[in-house]
Amino acid sequence: AQTVTQSQPEMSVQEAETVTLSCTYDTSENNYYLFWYKQPPSRQMILVIRQEAYKQQNATENRFSVNFQKAAKSFSLKISDSQLGDTAMYFCAFIHQNTDKLIFGTGTRLQVFP
């Protein structure tokens, strides 16, 4: 079965600092996609970053970057220069290339302090 594990239920970071959220997944497939979604208090799910498994280069979106380690099945999210607006629940998610179903982790609640 394909699973996504987020081992950090809660994290906190001071404004302007850097924080890394962990995610591991389990699959026997070779072609898949990985995502980080953000859910702020408004509960709107927002796509943060996306990574194709066949790409070795780590995806980057402004202050957000990932460390994708395919052999280790690890997909961590680094947030640089943290801002108060980054306070949210962060979900790691996986989808196999030939299926429709997104598989979510249990989430990490990130609090950014001033």
Partner 1 sequence: GAVVSQHPSWVICKSGTSVKIECRSLDFQATTMFWYRQFPKQSLMLMATSNEGSKATYEQGVEKDKFLINHASLTLSTLTVTSAHPEDSSFYICSARDVSSPGTDTQYFGPGTRLTVL
The three-state secondary structure class of 26 is: strand
Pick from 19, 21, 36, 37: which binds partner 1 (CB under 8 A)? 37
Pick from 27, 45, 76, 80: which binds partner 1 (CB under 8 A)? 45
Rounded to the nearest angstrom, the gap between the alpha carbon of residue 47 and the centroid of all alpha carbons in its chain is 10
Considering only residues 51 through 110, tell me which ones interact with partner 1, judged by CB under 8 A.
91, 95, 97, 100-102, 104-107
Nearest approach in angstroms of CB 16 to partner 1 is: 28
**Whole-number Å distance between alpha carbons of 86 and 8:** 16
- Sign, CA dihedral 24-81-64-104, equals positive
Question: Applying CB under 8 A, which residues contact partner 1?
Answer: 33, 35, 37, 42-47, 50, 91, 95, 97, 100-102, 104-107
